[in-house]
Structure 1
């Protein structure tokens, strides 16, 4: 695995000119593993990669050609998860005392999935031994804070340019996800924090577009959106945040992590979804229906 350097922590893919009020974000598709992290881990090979949102940055890569920026992490989620509060830290993982401002009691910490995760998918422990507290805090300073600074700049710029903005936080979900009361396996899940992070009309439009394309799409269950969706979604200020989960089984082999033959077709469908979302927003931008609610 290639070595990660500071300037490679994440990439902002920019269109020549931003022409639509969207920002796309892929925080969990990073696949460059720091060698010192691999040395600390009891996992290796495919096992350490189980928590990646595999190739989601590529699935949504055409956002740039459509006129929107795409922020994509290069660091892996197993190393640090930017879809958390900055200091959701598990004291059981560290030698020494965490600072008093650390959130040690969140449900995500209890589940092993804090800002610095304790496990990857399938409850596999990452570390062979405890980490120094300072190392955890250093990761937040060196990785988490610059990433969110870049995301804030993109959102603020979009809001200033268009008078409102739509953040699409892009993720993937395991192929075995099932939803109570639904017979079909969901291909996509749209999360809006139960109507608090985005206009209900925008969420319904996303679901309708996906269903018209032939996909099974549902809203909020079991993924309503994480910290990023909750933190940046402010519909009353004209800032809307949707989380989109793509079922991995439709585009990747979950055992080998290799792309399926259908990968290109799924990416093309995602492009169509993004294009139709932009058209929907443009339709309502004239009367500022999304600018503030």
Structure 2
């Protein structure tokens, strides 16, 4: 299976979906334990939430699961959040710190090298190619990195996450106007939200976001309580919750697209 699927659009907005894939190559599936095979830390139904919200949007989506390799982690292995608990390039445990590999089958450096080449590198090469195409065509490219996570995970953070977790790495990955626009829509939505809280943007937006070059990147981490029937197996999408959330997401994406011409480099 190819590691990435690309659907090209003519507009300035690129949606990145790095954690929606559920494919496990046999070399990985055969080594996971029962907990690992639950795929608990998938971005369940995030692709469905964003599907069809706006026309002319480019979509870059992963097919492989994050337990193969995490596409939102530094391929060199550096921590996104030094001093805080987090999972690595190839996770050894769930977000609850429960092991996912059979004893003696944990990933080694050879695994990291293999999946960096076969999955991580192709995904980001495809994303980079779309960024270049869009920016060259329109003078600006806006990368919107789509994520979700369970709303309560004590190993990672205290309390309950807001519905909308906006990340710009402290304003470094996009123009201030873009950050302000997304915050304004989030505030007006009546949903709980935070800017650069526990999830301030992962490797994807930090690596690709170059505002001075006309490439702006922003991460949206949705609390799964905002759209799932339950944050536990089978992780079913709640149609009523999804129907209520999709207009909020449409408002955010529409505001981004409306702002794009003012960010274009000539």
TM-score, normalised relative to structure 1: 0.79
The answer on whether the counterparts of 2:20 and 2:47 sit within 8 Å (CA) in structure 1 is: yes
Match of 1:273 in 2: 252
Match of 1:117 in 2: 91
Match of 2:74 in 1: 85
1:218–1:68 Cα change, 3 Å? same
1:132–1:61 Cα change, 3 Å? same
Q: Any idea what the Cα deviations from partners look like across 1:163-210, whole Å, max 9, x if unmatched? A: 1111101111222279xxxx9951101111101111111111101112
Match of 2:48 in 1: 58
- Equivalences for residues 232-271 of structure 1 within 5 A: 232-252=208-228, 253-256=230-233, 257-261=235-239, 262-271=241-250
1:27 and 2:1 equivalent? Answer: no
For this pair of structures, how many residues does the alignment match? 256
The answer on whether the counterparts of 1:211 and 1:217 sit within 8 Å (CA) in structure 2 is: yes
The alpha-carbon deviation at position 122 of structure 1 amounts to 0.4
- Equivalences for residues 165-204 of structure 1 within 5 A: 165-176=141-152, 186-204=162-180
Which of 28, 52, 71 is residue 60 of structure 2 equivalent to?
A: 71
1:219–1:269 Cα change, 3 Å? same
The answer on whether the counterparts of 2:87 and 2:95 sit within 8 Å (CA) in structure 1 is: no
What is the alpha-carbon distance in structure 1 between the residues aligned to residue 83 and residue 32 of structure 2? 19
1:74–1:58 Cα change, 3 Å? same
Match of 2:101 in 1: 127
Q: Any idea what the Cα deviations from partners look like across 1:77-104, whole Å, max 9, x if unmatched? A: 111111112231xxxxxxxxxxxxxx5x
What is the alpha-carbon distance in structure 1 between the residues aligned to residue 201 and residue 13 of structure 2? 17
1:131–1:31 Cα change, 3 Å? closer
SS of residue paired to 1:58: helix
1:195–1:249 Cα change, 3 Å? same
1:164 and 2:130 equivalent? Answer: no
1:224–1:273 Cα change, 3 Å? same
| RMSD, aligned CA | 2.5
Match of 1:214 in 2: 190
What is the alpha-carbon distance in structure 2 between the residues aligned to residue 229 and residue 49 of structure 1? 24
The alpha-carbon deviation at position 251 of structure 1 amounts to 0.5
TM-score, normalised relative to structure 2: 0.87
Higher relative contact order (CA 8 A, sep 6+): 2
Question: Is there any run of 5+ residues in structure 1 with no aligned partner, and where?
Answer: 89-102
- Equivalences for residues 34-49 of structure 1 within 5 A: 34-44=25-35, 48-49=38-39
- Larger mean CA deviation between 161-170 and 210-219 belongs to 210-219
The list of structure 1 runs, each at least 4 consecutive aligned residues, that deviate by more than 3 angstroms after superposition, is 105-112, 130-133
